[in-house]
Structure 1
């Protein structure tokens, strides 16, 4: 199994209800396979996710999720 590393950073500003997090996933390339003619050996990759939320008023939170591969989405809790 190739080496995987998943570091993250989080910043919280409670005075204004802000929470921002950056999560990264790094995967080393697969180099050993049983049969190179048949088996798939993916190259290494990196994925970055940015997650933010803001508490607009008590009980109302707006969030944004940004993924480096799949576009973006937002939600309201």
Structure 2
């Protein structure tokens, strides 16, 4: 497996979302996840975003680490 580090701003850009530090923090505060909800099934994602997030984790791609970090940050915001 090739490992690569993607910063949070790059993940947000990949998801088609504003990717400045301020917009990322705002998104996280506005979209908290509780413990029962999976990241990629949250209703605030569109289908393409859900598919990307799910595939990143299930394939253990080079995006998996930053997707996991986003998951943690959204749960901490709850």
Task: Tell me the TM-score normalized by structure 1.
Answer: 0.20
Task: Tell me the TM-score normalized by structure 2.
Answer: 0.20
Higher relative contact order (CA 8 A, sep 6+): 2
User: Is the helix fraction higher in 1 or 2?
Assistant: 2
User: Is the strand fraction higher in 1 or 2?
Assistant: 1
